[in-house]
């Protein structure tokens, strides 16, 4: 196993090396410029559209439910375990780089949502199908279909082998054992049954559950985190100061010289931030494509709120509580570190609340990625592959308790990075299309107001 982990660690370092980080941030920067800082000028409008979108076009679910499905997949263990890991390894400065990547990522997520609508199709079952594999093939042309196939392969693998199943199931199973003493096997079996009940019902079943659970769990987690910060408001200014200072000087919890800590802050902040909000991975536009809308740019605006909610709200609460509480300097790691931060504010119920949120976060991520994976598999093999993929997916969820945590997270990181490359290439190549579509939409709104 050690030799396998050595190979995987090397591959992970290569996939998430400097070229990938430059490509991610560079794509976000190019889109930010071409879209004229849309993530600042139109964010208020986008947040309002979440609840006021007309839902007049073709699609399988409302824009709100498509966003909740995407958020179900993005708000997961990355917001708790991922942030804690980033801060532990890269220091508080990793949180700054997470924010920086998310700021550019909002423009990236907008472009993904826009293109998912513009290039969506209807499959043989009459269901809407879209995402990077569609906008690569239809937007860049048939000669780039090989790139679309690569994305679909990596997307299906990420769902069934990485971010969608094993990482989430492992976190749920460990959390239930640590907080309530429930045996791993029992939790795995119950989890597999619950996932099967929802996933076998398809997108509408997943969207219905997500639209109820996601807002509830996000609000509960946010409120508890904010209360902790308010209770220790005197420590918040110094926490922000430490975050900004260590973002450029380097101060990692695990020690090491400043240069190494500085590099670790950037790498962990960007990589874990992308793992959490998925801007640039190409996963969220698969859900966005199913939204009922007539305007591609309208769905782009709604989609980009997902990155704002995930990183600037949920991840920020986690990161700030870790720094304010001093938990980032302790010996605990992962979910246990965040439990220690919540215990700082609520010694009696804090860890239990955090554990419940972690379970809900991870469960909804499993549901969202089930849809992503099956859409990728459907692109590769047709809709006949949907049911076998769902069954395999459910079985892997049940086996999440028996895989080593390091192996699970490393495979998830690798498959995430492999997904991102074809998608980012397409986003840069189609950035002009995004700019044109955006102008047409806002010209339409201006004419309608006159």
Where are the domains positioned within the chain? 12-449
**CB 370, CB 390: distance < 8 Å:** yes
Nearest by Cα to 275 from 87, 70, 77: 77
- Tokens (6 digits) for 29: 């920067």
β-partners of residue 122 are 128
Distance CA 322, CA 84 (A): 7
Q: What would the DSSP string read from start to end of 392-411?
A: HHHHHHHTGGGS-HHHHHHH
Q: Are 246 and 87 a contacting pair, CB within 8 Å?
A: no
- pLDDT of 256: 45
pTM: 0.89
pLDDT tens for the chain, 450 residues long, are: 667 878 888 888 888 777 888 898 899 999 999 999 999 999 999 999 888 888 777 777 788 888 877 777 777 777 887 788 788 877 888 899 889 989 999 999 999 999 999 999 887 777 788 899 999 999 999 999 999 999 999 999 888 887 778 878 887 887 787 777 888 888 888 888 988 988 888 777 887 887 788 788 888 888 999 999 999 999 999 999 999 988 887 555 444 444 455 666 677 777 777 777 888 888 889 988 888 888 899 999 999 998 999 899 988 999 999 999 988 888 777 777 888 888 888 888 888 888 888 888 888 888 888 888 989 999 999 888 889 999 999 888 887 667 776 777 788 778 888 888 999 999 999 999 999 999 999 998 888 876
| Letter string b/e over residues 1-21, b meaning 16 or more CB atoms within 10 A of that residue's CB | eeeeeeebeebbeebbeeebb
Other beta carbons within 10 angstroms of residue 382's beta carbon come to 12
Name the β-bridge partners of 61: 291
The per-residue pLDDT for 401 is 63
7: tokens are 């190979």
**Structure confidence at residue 247 (pLDDT):** 83
Strands 128-129, 121-122: pairing is antiparallel
- Give pLDDT, residue 301: 94
Task: State residue 259's pLDDT score.
Answer: 47
CATH number 1.20.1090.10 is the correct assignment for the domain at 12-449: no
* pLDDT at residue 40, rounded to an integer: 93
Sign of the C-alpha dihedral computed for residues 303, 306, 309 and 312 taken in this order: negative
Structure confidence at residue 437 (pLDDT): 95
Report the C-alpha gap between 397 and 189 in whole angstroms.
Answer: 9
Judge contact between 170 and 401, C-beta under 8 A.
yes
């Amino acid at each position: 196993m050690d030799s396998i982990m050595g190979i995987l660690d090397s591959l992970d370092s290569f996939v998430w090396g400097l070229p990938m980080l430059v490509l991610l941030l560079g794509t976000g920067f190019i889109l930010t410029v071409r879209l004229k800082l849309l993530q600042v000028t139109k964010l208020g409008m986008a947040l309002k559209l979440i609840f006021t979108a007309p839902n007049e076009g073709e699609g399988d679910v409302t824009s709100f439910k498509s966003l909740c499905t995407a958020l179900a997949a993005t708000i997961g263990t990355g917001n708790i375990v991922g942030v804690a890991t980033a801060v532990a390894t890269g220091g508080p400065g990793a949180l700054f780089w997470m924010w920086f990547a998310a700021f550019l990522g909002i423009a990236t997520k907008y472009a993904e949502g826009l293109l998912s609508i513009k290039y969506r199709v209807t499959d043989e079952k009459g269901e809407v199908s879209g995402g990077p594999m569609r906008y690569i093939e239809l937007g860049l042309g048939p000669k780039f279909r090989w790139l679309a196939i690569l994305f679909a392969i990596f997307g299906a693998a990420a769902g069934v082998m990485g971010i969608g199943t094993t990482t989430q199931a492992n976190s749920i199973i460990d959390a239930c054992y640590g907080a309530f003493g429930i045996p791993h096997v029992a939790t795995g079996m119950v989890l597999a049954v619950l996932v099967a009940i929802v996933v076998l019902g398809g997108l509408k079943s997943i969207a219905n559950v997500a639209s109820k659970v996601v807002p509830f769990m996000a609000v509960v987690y946010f409120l508890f985190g904010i209360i902790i910060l308010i209770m220790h408001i005197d420590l918040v200014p110094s926490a922000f100061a430490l975050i900004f200072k260590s973002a450029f000087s380097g101060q990692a919890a695990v020690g090491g010289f400043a240069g190494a800590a500085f590099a670790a802050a950037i790498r962990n902040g960007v990589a874990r931030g992308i793992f959490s909000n998925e801007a640039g991975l190409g996963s969220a536009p698969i859900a966005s494509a199913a939204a009922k809308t007539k305007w591609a740019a309208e769905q782009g605006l709604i989609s980009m709120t997902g990155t704002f909610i995930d990183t600037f709200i949920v991840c920020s609460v986690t990161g700030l509580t870790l720094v304010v509480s001093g938990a980032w300097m302790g010996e605990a790691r992962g979910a246990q570190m965040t439990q220690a931060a919540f215990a700082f504010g609520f010694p009696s119920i804090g860890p239990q609340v955090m554990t419940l949120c972690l379970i809900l976060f991870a469960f909804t991520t499993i549901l969202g990625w089930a849809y992503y994976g099956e859409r990728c598999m459907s692109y590769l093999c047709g809709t006949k592959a949907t049911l076998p993929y769902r069954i395999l997916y459910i079985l892997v969820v049940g086996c999440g308790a028996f895989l080593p945590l390091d192996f699970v997270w490393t495979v998830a990181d690798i498959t995430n990075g492999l997904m991102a490359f074809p998608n980012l290439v397409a986003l840069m190549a189609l950035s002009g299309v995004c700019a044109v579509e955006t102008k047409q939409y806002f010209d339409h709104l201006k004419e309608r107001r006159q």
